[in-house]
Chain A
C-alpha cells in the first residue's frame, strides 16, 4: 500500500505547477480567461509542447500516460494554478476517440481542439432525456437538436455529439464550421458554447455509444475532483496566510478560536476530498468501459462538490470584504470551486446515483440502459 506519487508523476506535477506559476500568473489569467475567446492560444500551445495533453492518452495511442492517476495529477496541478484552458474538453474528447481507431496526434499536439457535446437543457446526466436526434438518409447521417453548455465549444475544431437514433445512443463527429456555434464566457473563467444542429451532416463514430460516453464522463468527474483538490489546497494556503497576517483588534485574526475551529474543519474536509479522489481514480484504472459510472466516482463527485463549496464559502467569509473584490485571488478560486459542482453532475445528482445503489445493486444504471435500448 502506497499513497505517494511515483517520481514521474511528481515531476509532472512539479513541472506543470512551475509552468503555470511562471507563464500563467494571475494577471495573465485575469486578462485571458474572462474575455473572448476565453482561451489563451499561447498558453495552450505551451501546455501541448510540455506534453500535458499527451499525458491524457496511453503510449499505444501516441501519448505517454493515460492512467487515471496520471490524469488526476495533471488536473490537480491545473486546479492549483487555476488554469482555464480547455483541458477538460480535451480529456472528454480523447476518451471518446480512444474507443475508435482515430489518429489522436492532432489532438495530443493541441492543434485540434475537441469538445464533447452531450448535455441538453433539461437532461442533466440522465441519458434517457436526450432529445437530440440522429437520422440516416441516403446512407449519410444528419443531427438535429440543441446541445447546451458544451465545454470548450467556443473554440473547438471538432465536436463529438451524443444523439439518439432508432437503435440507442450514438456518438457522432462534426466539424465546428458545419454547425451553428454560439460561444460564451463562464462565471469562473474559460468558455463554452451552445451547439445548434438542424439536419447537420455528421460522421458516425459509434452507434452504441453509451458505454463510451459514460466512461468519458467518469474520467471527467475524476479530473474535476482532482482539479478541485488542487484548487482547495491553494485556497487553504491563501487562507492560512491571511489568518496569520490580517490583524484586527490588535491580533492576527487566526488567533480567534471562532475562526481556528472552522479552519480546521476545512482542513479535515480537504483531506477527505483528497482521499475519495484517490479512491475514484483507482476505480477507473484498468477497467473496461461500461454503461455505469463506478460507485467510487459518484462518491467522489458527490463529496468533493459539497466540500469544495464549503471551502469556497468559508474562505470568502474569513477573508472578509477583501474576498468580495475582483483583485482577490481567493475570489477566483472560490468561483472555480463552486462552479466545478455544476459540471458533469452536481453533488445531488451523484447522491441520487448513490441512493439508488445504496443496498448494493445498481438499478438506476440498468434502468437507464434498458430504457435507452427499448
Chain B
C-alpha cells in the first residue's frame, strides 16, 4: 500500500508544470478559465505547442509519435494541464481514431493519417450517433454499398461535435442489412469535402454551436478508406470504448472545477458573509470535496491496476463504466453548486448584459449557468449513464 508518486513520477510532474509555466499562452488559459469557447486557431495553436514537445498524443506508442508514457504519467500530465487551464485537446483524432488505426488500420493508413493528426493537417470528427440510433447504437442505418472501388454512402449522422471545423469524419456504417445488427457494421473514413455531404449546425440547450448534423447523399468513399475488415466495425467501436481508460474519470477537470467553485464561494458574499460560511453551501461543498477525494483514489486504483480481491478488483473491465457514472455525477453537482452560488444574477444570458461598470457579473462568471445546462450532456454522451450501468450489470450479475 503506497499512495505516493514515485520519485521519477514526482520529477515528471515537476517537468510538466515547468513546461506549462513556460509554454501555455496566458491568453488561452484565461479563456479556458472564463469558460469561453476557443477559436479553431487557438485549439490548433495549443496542439502545435504540445506536438513540438512530443506530448500531443499521450496515449500512442512511441513508434507512432507518442511519448511512451505509463497510465500514471498520462494522468499526471492531464491533471497538470487541467489545473493550469490548458485548452482541452481534441479527442477525435488523438484518443479515438489514432488508437483505432494503430490497432486495426493498414500500414498505409497508419503512415498516412497518424502524422496528419499530429501536425494538425486533419481535424477529425466522429460519426456514430444517428437520429434513430443513440443508446441503441447498433441499430444505425446509414448504408454503405460497395460499388467497384467505392462505397456509396447514404444516411444521416448527428451530434457530430465540432464538425464545423472538421476535414474528415470516421463513421460507423451498415454494410450488411440483414442478420444480427452488430455484425453488419463497418468503420469508414470519409473526407468531408466529398460531394453529397451537407453539415447543419444544431443549436444546443445553452445557445451554443458545438454539435452538428451530417447528411450523406450518394457519397463515394474509396474502399481503401475501410478500417479493419468489412463488418468488423462494432468490434472496433467496442475496442475504443474500453481503450480510453486513463482519463475516463477526468479527475483533472473535476479538481480544476472544484477549485473554481470553492474560490467562487469564498469570494461571493450573501447576507453579509461568504457563501462558504453559509451552512447549506458549505455542506454541499464539503460533500463534493469528500466525493472527489474518494474518486481520485478510485481512479488511481484503476490506473495502478490492482487486482487483489481484497481491494475490490479495481483493474476489472467494468471499472471505467463505474468511474464514468460517478465522475459525471460529481461534475454535474459542481456545476449545480456554481450556478446556485450566483443567485439571481445567474439569470444573465451571456453576451446580452451591460458592460464595464454596469456589468452584472465578472466575465469568468458569465458562463456558469450556461455551463451547467451544457454539462447535462456528460451523463448522456459517450454511452449514457444508464448504458454504463447495463455494462456494469453484465460484469457483476451476468445475464440473469
Q: Is B121 an interface residue (CB 8 A)?
A: no
Asked if A60 is an interface residue, CB under 8 A from chain B, the answer is no
Q: By the criterion CB–CB under 8 Å, are A2 and B1 in contact?
A: yes
Question: B351: shortest Cβ distance to chain A, in Å?
Answer: 32
Contact partner, B400, options A254, A296, A299, Cβ 8 Å: A254
> Which residues from 1 to 38 on chain B have a C-beta closer than 8 Å to any C-beta of chain A?
1-6, 9
- Taking the closest CB of chain B, its distance from the CB of A329, in whole angstroms, is 19
B294 touches A279 (CB 8 A): yes
User: Does B396 contact A264, Cβ atoms closer than 8 Å?
Assistant: yes
Residue among B72, B276, B285, B397 with the highest chain A CB neighbour number at 10 A: B397
Instruction: Known contacts A240-B396, A255-B400, A261-B386; decide if A275 and B2 are in contact (CB<8 Å).
Output: no
| CB within 8 Å of B: which A1-24 residues | 1-6, 9-10, 13
Interface of B, secondary structure class, is: helix
Stretch in B87-95, B182-190, B196-204, B387-395 touching the partner: B387-395
Q: Once A and B bind, how many residue pairs between them come within 8 Å at the CB atom? A: 152
Distance A302 CA – B293 CA, assembled complex (angstroms): 12
> Are B325 and A233 in contact, CB atoms less than 8 angstroms apart?
no
* Cβ-defined contact, B322 with A271, below 8 A: yes
With an 8 A cutoff between CB atoms, is A374 at the interface?
no
A1 touching B3 by the CB < 8 A rule? yes
Residues of B within 8 A of A13 (CB): 310
- Asked if B291 and A274 sit within 8 Å, CB to CB, the answer is no
Q: Give the nearest-CB partner of B301 in chain A.
A: A3
CB distance from A146 to the nearest CB of B (A): 31
Could you say which interface size class chain A belongs to? 35 or more
B3 (CB) vs chain A CBs: closest residue: A282
* Residue of A233, A270, A303, A358 contacting most chain B CB atoms (<10 Å): A358
A188 CB-CB contact with B under 8 Å: no
CB of A175 closer than 8 Å to a CB of B: no
Cβ-based interface call for B102 (8 A): no
Q: Does B297 touch A at the CB level, under 8 Å?
A: yes
Does residue A252 face the partner (Cβ distance < 8 Å to B)?
yes
Instruction: Indicate whether B331 reaches chain A with its CB closer than 8 angstroms.
Output: no
- Cβ B294 vs Cβ A5 within 8 A: no
A355 close to B294 (CB less than 8 A): no
B279 at the interface (CB under 8 A from A): yes
Task: With A243-B400, A244-B397, A254-B397 as known contacts, state yes or no: A296 contacts B4, CB within 8 Å.
Answer: no
Q: Which residue of A lies closest to B6 (CB)?
A: A1
Determine the chain A residues whose CB is within 8 A of the CB of B301 once the complex forms.
3, 271, 275, 278
Tell me whether chain A's interface is mostly helix, strand or loop, or mixed.
helix
Q: Using Cβ atoms and an 8 Å threshold, which residues of chain A touch B392? A: 264, 267-268
Q: Which residues of A contact B397 (CB under 8 A)?
A: 240, 243-244, 254, 260, 263
B103 within 8 A of A: no
Q: Are B398 and A244 in contact (CB under 8 A)?
A: yes
Number of interface residues of B (CB under 8 A): 52
Evaluate contact between A275 and B3: CB separation under 8 angstroms: no
**Which residues on the A side are within 8 Å of B276 (C-beta)?**
358-359
Tell me if B400 and A355 are in contact (CB < 8 A): no
Tell whether, in the assembled complex, residue B312 and residue A233 are in contact, meaning their CB atoms are under 8 Å apart: yes
Task: List A54-84 residues whose CB lies under 8 Å from chain B.
Answer: 69, 76
CA distance A263 to B400 in the complex (A): 13
A210 lies within 8 A of chain B by Cβ? no
A5 in contact with B400 given A358-B262, A358-B276, A358-B282 (CB within 8 Å): no
A272 to B327 CA separation, bound complex (whole angstroms): 11
* Distance in angstroms between the alpha carbons of A270 and B400 in the assembled complex: 22
Partner of B291, one of A254, A267, A272: A272
| Residue A265 CB within 8 A of the other chain | yes
B219-248 at interface with A (beta carbon < 8 Å):
none
Q: Which chain B residues in 141-185 approach chain A with CB under 8 Å? A: none
B173, chain A: closest CB distance, angstroms: 30
Residue pair A355, B312 in contact (C-beta under 8 Å) = no
Say if the beta carbon of A180 comes within 8 Å of chain B: no
Name the interface residues of B305-348: CB closer than 8 Å to any CB of A: 306-308, 310-312, 314, 319, 322, 325-326
Known contacts: A3-B300, A267-B396, A351-B283. The answer to whether A76 contacts B310 by CB under 8 A is yes
**Does A354 lie at the interface of the complex (its beta carbon under 8 Å from any beta carbon of B)?**
yes
Q: Cβ of B400 and Cβ of A251 under 8 Å apart? A: yes
> Given A260-B390, A263-B396, A351-B283, does the pair A4, B311 have CB atoms closer than 8 Å?
yes
**Residues of the A chain whose Cβ atoms lie less than 8 Å from the Cβ of B294:** 272-273, 275-276, 279, 299, 303
Q: Which of A69, A270, A274 gathers most chain B CB within 10 Å?
A: A274
The residue of chain B having its C-beta at the shortest distance from the C-beta of A251 within the complex is: B400
Alpha-carbon separation in the docked complex, A79 to B308 (Å) = 18
Interface status of B52 (Cβ within 8 A of chain A) = no
In contact, A2 and B282 (Cβ under 8 angstroms): no
Contact B1 A69 (CB under 8 A): yes
Q: Which chain B residues lie closer than 8 Å to A272 at the CB level?
A: 291, 294-295, 298, 326
Are A358 and B291 also in contact (CB < 8 A) when A251-B400, A271-B314 are?
no
Q: Is B358 an interface residue (CB 8 A)?
A: no
What residues of A have a CB within 8 angstroms of the CB of B49 in the complex? none
If A3-B1, A233-B312 touch, whether A355 touches B279 (CB-CB below 8 Å) is: yes
Chain A residues with CB under 8 A of B386 = 261
Q: What residue of chain A has the Cβ atom nearest to residue B311's Cβ?
A: A3
* Distance A143 CA – B298 CA, assembled complex (angstroms): 47
Q: Is B287 an interface residue (CB 8 A)?
A: yes
CB distance from B339 to the nearest CB of A (A): 18
Q: In the complex, which of the residues B72, B287, B307, B312 contacts A1, with contact meaning CB atoms closer than 8 Å?
A: B72
Give the CA-CA distance A240 to B394 in the complex, in Å. 12
Chain B residues near A265 (CB, 8 Å)? Answer: 325, 389
Q: Does B63 contact A (CB under 8 A)?
A: no
In the complex, chain A residues whose CB is within 8 Å of the CB of B298:
271-272, 274-275
User: In the assembly, what is the distance between CA of A278 and CA of B314, in Å?
Assistant: 13
Contact between B306 and A276, CB atoms less than 8 A apart: no
Is the pair B289, A358 in contact by a Cβ cutoff of 8 Å? yes
Q: Is A299 touching B300 in the complex (CB atoms < 8 A)? A: no
Nearest-Cβ distance from residue B379 to partner chain A, whole angstroms: 13
Q: Chain B residues near A263: list those with CB within 8 A.
A: 393, 396-397
Q: Is there a chain A Cβ closer than 8 Å to B193's Cβ?
A: no
How far is B310's CA from A69's CA once the two chains are assembled, in angstroms? 13
Q: Which 7 A-B pairs have the closest CB atoms?
A: A275-B297, A254-B400, A354-B286, A276-B294, A355-B282, A252-B400, A299-B290
CB-defined A-B contacts under 8 Å, sample of 13? A3-B1, A3-B301, A3-B304, A76-B310, A260-B390, A261-B393, A263-B397, A276-B294, A299-B294, A351-B287, A355-B279, A355-B282, A358-B285
Could you list 19 further interchain pairs (A-B, Cβ under 8 angstroms) beyond the known A271-B298, A272-B291, A274-B312? Answer: A5-B308, A69-B1, A261-B386, A261-B389, A261-B393, A264-B322, A264-B396, A265-B389, A268-B322, A268-B326, A271-B312, A272-B294, A276-B293, A276-B297, A282-B1, A299-B293, A351-B283, A354-B286, A355-B286
A interface residues with partner B (beta carbon < 8 Å):
1-6, 9-10, 13, 69, 76, 233, 240, 243-244, 251-255, 257, 260-261, 263-265, 267-268, 270-276, 278-279, 281-282, 296, 299-300, 302-303, 351, 354-356, 358-359
